[in-house]
Amino acid sequence: MRTDTPQAVRLADYRPFPFAIETTRLVFELHPSQTRVKAELAVRRTGAKDEPLVLNGERLKLVSAAVDGQALSANQYVLDAEHLTIPDLPDQFVLTTEVEIDPSANKALMGLYMSGGRFCTQCEAEGFRTITYFPDRPDVLSRYSVRIEADRKFTHLLSNGNLIDSGALEDNRFFAEWEDPFPKPCYLFALVAGHLDVLVDRFITMSGREVALRVFVDPGQASRAAYALDSLKRAMKWDEDTFGREYDLDLFMIVAVRDFNFGAMENKGLNIFNSSLLLADPHTATDLDYERIEAVVAHEYFHNWTGNRITCRDWFQLCLKEGFTVFRDQSFSADQRGATVERIKGVRALRARQFAEDAGPLAHPVRPSSYMKIDNFYTATIYEKGSEIIRMLKTILGAEAFRKGSDLYFQRHDGQATTVEAFIACFAEASGRDLSDFFGWYEQAGTPAVTIETAYDEAAKALTLNFTQSTAPTPGQPDKKALPIPIAIGLLSETGEPLRETEVVLLDKDALTVRWENVPSRPILSALRGFSAPVNLSTDARPADRYVLFAADPDLFNRWEAGQTLARDLILARAAGTPDEVGEERYADALGRALVDDTAEPAFKALLLALPSEQDLALMSEPAEPAALHESRKTLRTRIAVHLGDLLRRLHGEMQSDAEFSASAEAAGRRALRNACANMLSADPSADNLSRLVGHYAVSGNMTDQIGALQAMVASGDAQREIALNNFHGVWRKEPLVLDKWFSVQAQDPSENALERVIALTKHQDFEPTNPNRLRALVSTFANFNPARFHDSRGAGYRFLADQILAVDSFNPMTAARLVEPLGNWRRYKPALGRLMREQLERVAAHPDLSKNVLELATKALG
């Protein structure tokens, strides 16, 4: 174990920085292994006289430092591994520093690094400190001007703001000068230099200004950026229409890079994207890729207001920008692609990732109060639950007051680094409501459990609803208080007719009783419509009631939810050794009826066909036995595939299209349904079904069809899959983004020897662990999406993951830390497995040169 216990950072310790950095001038002399960075900071004291200037700086070679042109001698400053400290400073001065850094050695992909032979940066959250000495905190806003000098072969030299000048230098070098008129924190700084192709367009804003749009990609790839560019223009328009937000610079740029720790980054005027979330054409990208590109392009663009114009006072306020921006991108996607289908997908992701996090040792509030490494807090809780909070705020206040609140926020805090309190205060003021209890959603971790019990009084024609809520303790928070939970409820008759329109009940105490008059017959409750709050709901509904909802609920989210709940209970019953064969047949029948409902969209039917995932099932059963859950889920799949075989084959045929590829939500929905049918049919590997899958693969004219067929073939376990996998590799071995899919399909192999396959793939010549996409495609996919094989009874899956964590941690701590989570929930698994998981966590935690990132998570997971 490390001896130097890293210190936690606490919200309660926040102090403003005692200096303002009014302007920041940066000069980069780019060189792959010896880049020079000169910084000139115009500094003004804002705090006490005796405060020294403490700048962050890590892995920098200090060449020189001067105050007002006077070089500092060694006794005038203190240098340690993480800071440059200068005491005895005047109230106003110019600090110049010069450092040398080595981008080519930077495999952590934070700060300035090289990807595919080009320079790029990632500064959020704390990467800027590896570029130059600076107060690396989001509340220090400064106006930047940047000069970049590089060899001619890096044809484009990009930074934030507007291009002011460029020209030739000696030795086949040239320069570019950039100026960003908007003060910004250093985490939004960006620089890119490389040989790039560019796709150009323009956008006319609501006030008639013209904005030049440029998307930069690898040479030869420009046509694959067209969908991203189109998404960008739609997002720009939507933000004007929906939130009144207009873009503010004359230029907006996006650059795609292959080596990137996350999805994308909202640097002012110069977004940088993981190429997997930018490049798409029908042959190489799936519909899911298109959908994510649209959402992430919008997300990063929306940050221009929620994150950049208004930023965070400190990193504890991360949800201020991320939760709100996710809410904005989800609302955009709902408008673009249909609210129901988007909501179902959103809730599925929320439950799989955020509910799991909230139920384990890494549970934390949406606004945490302490952290060791902020990189570890870019979590589903901050992002997804953060978005759910905003969604509830809108539900509680209504659309109009919500918009008034957001208008007030943009007007009042423009140009500031602010807090979640200040944000909520705008909504309280605009709506005239007291939101102090609502703030509990930010401070309390854990998923509330809500129960509803109903009693119908036949004689009085009245329904009594008894609500309760409770939240289980989470680490550091033993006692939980009641939160205001908006629960949207409607009533159906026993024959599926609407009895009462949706009404939102605000459950803001531990228990609440509501009585509804004029209910003409015994009603069926449709509660938590549209998933109106991020809670676990249980009601006294009988299976028969759920079948009514599954067939007829006008709220399509709840129609889907009823099917999921029925399927879940059947799988859990079988896993517990009490299978309900009659129930399983009944479920298959009902599913068959839902699939022939002409009023439902194909995309919705595809979602009906997806049974609850093994991870979701594990969360619902304690102690979890992944192997048993896998087997009983498989049994239900096979039963459906047999029972509905003719219908699934018919739909599979009908959804095939010879039309030219369209990326529209409607066309994607048909492909999704076809793939869902193929996937279900793979659970009944009859000769007829198998040849159908082979045919599906052979005729596929786009990546969605091709990967759908390949996935189904791998799931079937049939020998033909090896031929298809080899064929796929042969065709796509020069396309990194497609090769990622090849790795990830195999990582999800349900067969007995999947772990051996995955380990062998880590030795494959195309496996590049330094590339996060490739690493995640194989290792994370296996650990997160193949529970039956990851939870190998001898612990070999855990050992494999621990080996990978340690190997990756030696060069990329941020990405290594993201691999810890699958071992984290060891307490939820049956003791024989939990013990083996714990052993591997202990092995990781005991490693002598562990990063702070992995150490924090491994320690917390051990508890």
Note the residues at the interface with ligand TRP (CB under 6 A): 122, 124-125, 260-262, 264-266, 299-300, 322, 378
441 vs 619: CA distance, rounded Å: 22
Query: Which is closer to ligand TRP, CB of 107 or CB of 827?
Result: 107
Q: How far is the CB of 114 from ligand TRP (least distance, A)?
A: 16
Q: How far is the CB of 127 from ligand TRP (least distance, A)?
A: 7
261 binds, among ligand TRP, Zn ion, none (CB under 5 to 8 A by kind): ligand TRP
Edge-to-edge strands, sheet with 191-194: 111-115, 118-122, 191-194, 156-159
Edge-to-edge strands, sheet with 524-527: 498-507, 485-492, 524-527
Q: How far is the CB of 312 from Zn ion (least distance, A)?
A: 11
Q: How far is the CB of 326 from Zn ion (least distance, A)?
A: 7
Q: How far is the CB of 329 from Zn ion (least distance, A)?
A: 8
Q: How far is the CB of 185 from ligand TRP (least distance, A)?
A: 12
Residue 286, φ and ψ in degrees, nearest 5: -90, 170
109 vs 772: CA distance, rounded Å: 9
Residues 6+ positions from 617 with CB-CB distance below 8 Å:
568, 571, 572, 575, 624, 629, 633
Asked whether 627 and 367 are in contact (CB, 8 A), the reply is no
Task: Give the three-class secondary structure for 199.
Answer: strand
178 binds, among ligand TRP, Zn ion, none (CB under 5 to 8 A by kind): none
262 binds, among ligand TRP, Zn ion, none (CB under 5 to 8 A by kind): ligand TRP
Query: Which is closer to ligand TRP, CB of 260 or CB of 550?
Result: 260
C-alpha angle 645-651-657 in degrees, rounded to nearest 5 = 145
User: Packing angle between helix 687-699 and helix 720-732, nearest 10 degrees?
Assistant: 10
Query: Which is closer to ligand TRP, CB of 303 or CB of 643?
Result: 303
Query: Which is closer to Zn ion, CB of 378 or CB of 811?
Result: 378
813-826 residues labelled b (16+ CB within 10 A) or e (exposed): bbbbbbbbbbbbbb
320-339 residues labelled b (16+ CB within 10 A) or e (exposed): bbbbbbbbbbbbbbeebbbe
179 classed as catalytic: no
Q: What is the CA radius of gyration of the chain?
A: 28
Interface positions, 316-335, toward Zn ion (CB under 5 A)? 322, 325
Residue 106, φ and ψ in degrees, nearest 5: -85, 95
Annotated catalytic residue, options 300, 388, 584, 625: 300
Query: Which is closer to ligand TRP, CB of 306 or CB of 700?
Result: 306
Asked whether 536 and 450 are in contact (CB, 8 A), the reply is yes
Structure tokens at 817: 């830390």
Query: Which is closer to ligand TRP, CB of 714 or CB of 808?
Result: 808
Fill in the amino acid letter for 164: I
List, in sequence order, every residue forming a beta bridge with 512; answer none if it has no partner. Answer: 467
Q: How far is the CB of 133 from ligand TRP (least distance, A)?
A: 21
3-class SS letters over 596-621: CCCCCCHHHHHHHHCCCCHHHHHHHC
Asked whether 368 and 385 are in contact (CB, 8 A), the reply is no
Pairing of strands 485-492, 78-79: unpaired
Query: Which is closer to ligand TRP, CB of 113 or CB of 782?
Result: 113
Query: Which is closer to ligand TRP, CB of 124 or CB of 740?
Result: 124
Closest CA to 325 of 249, 251, 386, 402: 386
543 vs 751: CA distance, rounded Å: 33
505 binds, among ligand TRP, Zn ion, none (CB under 5 to 8 A by kind): none
Structure tokens at 10: 């606490």
125 binds, among Zn ion, ligand TRP, none (CB under 5 to 8 A by kind): ligand TRP
Q: How far is the CB of 299 from Zn ion (least distance, A)?
A: 6
Q: How far is the CB of 318 from ligand TRP (least distance, A)?
A: 9
Interface positions, 218-247, toward Zn ion (CB under 5 A)? none
User: If you ran DSSP here, which 8-state letter would residue 447 be given?
Assistant: P
Asked whether 98 and 63 are in contact (CB, 8 A), the reply is yes
264 binds, among Zn ion, ligand TRP, none (CB under 5 to 8 A by kind): ligand TRP
Query: Which is closer to ligand TRP, CB of 371 or CB of 728?
Result: 371
Residues 6+ positions from 156 with CB-CB distance below 8 Å:
192, 193, 194, 195, 196, 198, 216
C-alpha angle 43-48-50 in degrees, rounded to nearest 5 = 90
User: If you ran DSSP here, which 8-state letter would residue 310 be given?
Assistant: B
Q: How far is the CB of 402 from ligand TRP (least distance, A)?
A: 22
Asked whether 705 and 696 are in contact (CB, 8 A), the reply is yes
Query: Which is closer to Zn ion, CB of 325 or CB of 621?
Result: 325
- Determine the size of the site formed for Zn ion (CB under 5 A): 2
Closest CA to 590 of 524, 490, 454, 496: 496
614 binds, among ligand TRP, Zn ion, none (CB under 5 to 8 A by kind): none
Q: How far is the CB of 292 from ligand TRP (least distance, A)?
A: 13
Query: Which is closer to Zn ion, CB of 391 or CB of 630?
Result: 391
Q: How far is the CB of 296 from ligand TRP (least distance, A)?
A: 8
784 vs 821: CA distance, rounded Å: 9
Q: How far is the CB of 262 from ligand TRP (least distance, A)?
A: 3
C-alpha angle 771-775-778 in degrees, rounded to nearest 5 = 145
742 binds, among ligand TRP, Zn ion, none (CB under 5 to 8 A by kind): none
User: If you ran DSSP here, which 8-state letter would residue 306 be given?
Assistant: B
Chain residue whose CB lies nearest ligand TRP: 262
Asked whether 862 and 838 are in contact (CB, 8 A), the reply is yes
Asked whether 10 and 130 are in contact (CB, 8 A), the reply is no
* Beta-carbon count within 10 A of 165 CB: 10
Query: Which is closer to ligand TRP, CB of 261 or CB of 539?
Result: 261
Pairing of strands 162-168, 118-122: unpaired
Q: Which of these ranges, 191-199, 314-322, 349-357, 717-725, lies near Zn ion under the rule CB under 5 A?
A: 314-322
* Beta-carbon count within 10 A of 223 CB: 12
Query: Which is closer to ligand TRP, CB of 376 or CB of 689?
Result: 376
Site residues, Zn ion (CB under 5 A): 322, 325
What residues act catalytically?
A: 300
